[in-house]
Amino acid sequence: MPSTVFWGSPRQTVIGPEETLPAKLDLILQKLNLRERVKGETVAIKMHTGNNIITSTIHPVFVRKVVKAVKEGGGKPFVTDLNWDAAGAEERGYSSETIGCPVYPASGPEEKYFYTHKRDFKNMKEWKVAGLIQDATFLINLSHIKGHPSCGFGGAFKNIALGCMVGETRSAMHDTVHFDKYWFADKCPDEAVRKKIIDSCPVGALVVDRKDPRELHLHTEPCMQCGRCLKVAPAGSLKIDPVNFLAFQEACAISTAITLSTFAPGKVTYISLATQMTPVCDCFGFTGMSILPDAGIFGSDDIVAIDRAALDCVAKLKLIDENMTASLRKFLWPDGHPFTRMHGPMKDPYKVTEYGEALGLGSRNYELVDVLPVDENAPPSRWFISAS
């Protein structure tokens, strides 16, 4: 049986507040029976509060609606994020006054409050789950959909996978991309050739290793897998291989599984907002122009289904050419998912949902239920500003 994903389309039949995304969020919260589920629960609302001068994280109007619903249901809500993002949340509009509950650093101001879980994966043996997340009895994963240079896109998985772990674990997760060898120094002993390889990369993704000048280091984030470096590198010296790029996505799925294992069945729900989508993660701390039209708001109890549904809706959209930076537009792949066109085919954004499904976190088979379908045959209407 498919999982249900409730969807509020960004489109409206007529101009008016009832069909806007905040109003559709109310409908989704009802469909998820959120109020009925949180009585007496300590509810962590995990969101990315961004940093620096970003403005495209989830607007406080949406957050406040979720907080209000939790309070109405008798739950005790708090918003939580990484220490360095939570510390400046107020500057970006998230405070008790605006959203109706406090914003706490998930593992304390110095990231010293966590629970250690053991699990082997490539370079990793330990995963440190933020203390306030594991202590909570109910989790609302409130995520913003956007592009991401490490894995193509960030959504529900990414919000938990990185956002619920301490910095040491987050760094180790990023390092999984270097676990499988991609540079074979003995096949390229000539320094001048190594320099040519480095110079061939138009985005500076290849650099000399800091510890050993014979070794090359690949920054997978800017690399869009164009293959220019492979044309210069001697045979067998360099690999641009999916195994390195996909390691991070698999780490994200494992990290998410560990965090979710700390909650009882039925005690986690997911809301994702696909608006103001930018090419890179909210942790970059700035907002450029939206590179895609909005795709709406999603709600589900299935993390695999909600990320897949959001990706499928985004797949139908066209990149907004005039909103792309010149540097992005120059290296776009000609076809594929919009996030893949920007970040390259080896960062297939769907992979995290495949890994998540394999770990038993949900189903890629879903039914999308529009909570307020557009009526294409509605009579023409005028608009006004309601006094209420």
Chain residues that interact with ligand SF4, rule: CB under 6 A: 200-201, 203, 205-206, 218, 223-229, 240
Closest CB to ligand SF4 among residues 199, 212? 199
Give, for 242, the enclosing helix (H) or strand (E): helix 242-260
In the complex, minimum distance from the CB of residue 238 to ligand SF4, in angstroms, rounded to a whole number: 8
45 vs 206, beta carbon nearer ligand SF4: 206
Instruction: For the CB of residue 203, give the shortest distance to ligand SF4 in the complex, in Å.
Output: 5
Nearer to ligand SF4, 293 or 336 (CB): 336
Q: What's the min distance (Å) between Cβ of 223 and ligand SF4?
A: 3
Separation between Cα atoms, residue 61 and residue 326, nearest integer Å: 33
| Residue with smaller CB distance to ligand SF4, 4 or 225 | 225
Contacts by residues 213-220 (CB-CB < 8 Å, ≥ 24 positions apart): 214/185, 214/189, 215/183, 215/185, 216/183, 216/185, 217/178, 217/183, 218/177, 218/178, 218/182, 218/183, 218/244, 220/150, 220/177, 220/244, 220/245, 220/248
Q: How far is the CB of 42 from ligand SF4 (least distance, A)?
A: 45
- Distance CA(92)–CA(86), nearest Å, equals 10
Is residue 74 within 8 Å of residue 137, measured between CB atoms? no
Which of residues 132 and 240 has its CB atom nearest to ligand SF4 in the complex? Answer: 240
Q: Residue 70 or 205: which CB sits closer to ligand SF4? A: 205
Instruction: Give SS3 for 42.
Output: strand
d(CA 193, CA 232): 8
Q: CA-based angle 63:363:141, to the nearest 5?
A: 15
For ligand SF4, the closer of residues 80 and 220 by Cβ is 220
Rounded to whole angstroms, the maximal C-alpha distance in the chain is: 75
Which residues, including other chains, have CB under 8 Å from residue 211's CB and lie 6 or more apart? none
Shortest distance (Å) from residue 92 CB to ligand SF4: 32
Output phi, psi for 148, to 5 deg: -150, 130
- For residues 56 and 343, give the distance between their C-alpha atoms in angstroms, rounded to a whole number: 20
**Distance of alpha carbon 165 from the chain centroid:** 14
Please name which of 30, 34, 33, 28 lies closest in space to residue 9, comparing C-alpha atoms.
Answer: 28
In angstroms, rounded to a whole number, what is the distance separating the alpha carbons of residues 75 and 183?
Answer: 52
Instruction: Give the shortest CB-205-to-ligand SF4 separation in angstroms.
Output: 4
Smallest distance, ligand SF4 to C-beta of residue 313, A: 28
Shortest Å, Cβ 339 to ligand SF4: 16
Nearer to ligand SF4, 79 or 224 (CB): 224
Q: Given the complex with ligand SF4, which of 199 and 370 has the nearer CB atom?
A: 199
Q: CA 372 to CA 297: how far, in whole Å?
A: 12
Q: Which helix (H) or strand (E) holds 191?
A: helix 191-200
Provide, rounded to whole angstroms, the least separation between the CB of residue 182 and ligand SF4: 10
